[in-house]
Amino acid sequence: MNQAAIFYRATREFILPVSRQDLFIRLTAARSDIRECRVIFWKRNQTDSASVRFSDMKVAYRDAVHDDFRTVISFPEPVHYIKYYFELIDFAGDIRFLSENGLSDEKPADGFFEFLYVNTADVFSVPEWAKGIIYYQIFPDRFYRSQNAPESSRLVHWNSFPEQDNYFGGDLRGIIEKFDYLKELGAECIYLTPIFKAEFNHKYATTDYFTVDPAFGTLTDLQDLVKLAHSNGIKIILDGVFNHVGRSFPQFSDLLDRGKNSSYKEWFYPSDFPLTSNPLNYECVGDYPYMPKLRTAHPDVRNFILSVMIYWIEQTGIDGWRLDVADEMEMSTLQTIRTVLKEKYPDILLLGETWGDAFRLVGNGDQMDSAMNYLFRNAVLDWIAKGKIRATDFDRRINQLLSKYNDLTNSVMYNLIGSHDTARFLSEAGENKNKLKLAAAFQMTFCGSPAVYYGDEIGMSGENDPGCRAGMIWDQESQDRDLFRWYRCFIELRKAHPALRKGTFRSNFCDDEKNIYGFIRQTSDEALFVLMNNSENCSEIILPVPDRDAEYRELFSSMIRRPEPLQDGITFYNQEITEYQGQLSIPIDAYSVQIYKKEK
């Protein structure tokens, strides 16, 4: 037994209340080292043997070096005064016990782990509506210019090449006028990049948080958009830029004018007076002089941010906030935001931006519900778009990614393959639309929440800013309608099958030579097996199957090669099974996806 690899500590990363009666528990060990793992637990005032319970922990995820064991233990009353330890058995049959005192050969008599109490505010939950939802991200200036939009001399022709300082004239009414398109695609939640009065076309340098930017419309326009979305069962989240402001933000203008005599000097991070941009003597996001950083931990700033968030929720009924560069904001402020907003609006979604490991934002369940999953994007880019890794390495990275967060968080992670801050996926893939199709298929069949960046679904390409921010293509002859149908097909498939939206994930096939990957999505009522061929070659793969009597039918195939159900079908197997009763040969075309459903 690799004892050095066994790790657990009684923090929220490893034991987290998901209700007042339920505790999520995880433990990590060396890959393929532990055959059985269970947690033994009891109330500390009930020491008789009849009161001692246990729960078997299963390997949820397996990366290159670790197994991640997980379970949920439940109680008939609010959890309080629980003692527990772990029993681990390796494949040689050796047994070890883990308590607060460490590993031992004998069952511990003391030194147990303890969980004292689940208070109401300790419980981590996420909005039910957000689990597995399909996002559609819109950059408002570039989506659609409404028919009655006012003329402006600064607007360029809609088909102009995007530049960092030009304006296309897209607005909120334009989104309303094109709403049928969003419905046809099947979007479930619209994420709008900033719409408040701000400098620059991207609107990330806010000057007035309580006013819709006149370039986009009015409060009434936003209210109408939210009402239209809600009447069609679609959610809307707004972009909150609270880490920094524009130079014309009134409080910063006061600091520029009055220097050390300004009553707002504690709102920012000046190092000297008067303020100058060259040399730069005040802190800014990304060291950009035109976006001064707010001191978000200051009580007045914190209250200001909350007042903005509450104002727009109450004025428009939006469903959530995406917080720009949330990983640069004060943790205490994010915790306060969560506490205040969740008490008033339990179903509000809090989505944080980060480009790396999001544990700081979502790991302890006291800040964000979800985060922009750029690590997901990186893995998909490296396997599908760029071919830097093969199926096995992709699988290990995906499992490592899932192992970073608790299961509730994984169910709502914002899984993107491109955004307004990245090159479009099609450009990353060398304009190979087969690779974009595979990436979209993986998004829609993976756990979490797939996010579509406007225009990807019709074949738009473009390098990073400004290339990725071109005007949406509305001429259907210029759109890739086959690609659009592909996206719509997988969105419909996802909506029709709960296993794809909320089921567990387990990878179960990797072939590096042929670059084929397979995984299972499963609920108690449904099991789907997804196969993806990330290769330009047609292949025949051999799957080991422990049960040759189960029947699976072909639910979806990108080439629809067999009209008849597969009679001698695939049976799911997990990573612990080592003996098989047979094998099954499956043909799979180049750059194709096949999905099989287990028939009861």
Active site residues: 324, 353
What is the 8-class DSSP label of residue 184?
Answer: H
Helix axis angle, 299-316 relative to 331-344, nearest 10°?
A: 30
What is the C-alpha to C-alpha distance for residues 41 and 25, in angstroms, rounded to an integer?
12
Tokens of 17: 């209340």
* Partners of 220 in beta bridges: none
Nearest to 170, CA basis, from 462, 391, 472: 472
What is the C-alpha to C-alpha distance for residues 226 and 314, in angstroms, rounded to an integer?
12
Residue 102 neighbours by CB distance under 10 Å: 12
Helix, strand or coil, per DSSP, at residue 33: coil
What is the C-alpha to C-alpha distance for residues 325 and 323, in angstroms, rounded to an integer?
6
What's the maximum distance between 2 C-alpha atoms anywhere in the chain? 82
What is the C-alpha to C-alpha distance for residues 73 and 60, in angstroms, rounded to an integer?
15
The H or E element containing residue 299 is helix 299-316
What is the dihedral sign for C-alpha 236, 241, 247, 252? positive
Nearest to 23, CA basis, from 114, 109, 129: 114
With beta carbons less than 8 A apart as the criterion, state whether 190 and 236 touch. Answer: yes
What is the dihedral sign for C-alpha 325, 12, 124, 63? positive
Amino acid found at 229: A
Tokens of 386: 């760029």
Helix, strand or coil, per DSSP, at residue 14: coil
Q: First-to-last CA distance in the chain? A: 39
Helix axis angle, 433-445 relative to 481-496, nearest 10°?
A: 10
The H or E element containing residue 175 is helix 172-177
What is the C-alpha to C-alpha distance for residues 192 and 99, in angstroms, rounded to an integer?
48
90 Cβ contact partners less than 8 Å away, ≥ 6 residues apart: 1, 33, 34, 35
Nearest to 473, CA basis, from 147, 159, 161, 177: 159
Strand 449-453 to 135-138 pairing: parallel
What is the 8-class DSSP label of residue 272?
Answer: S
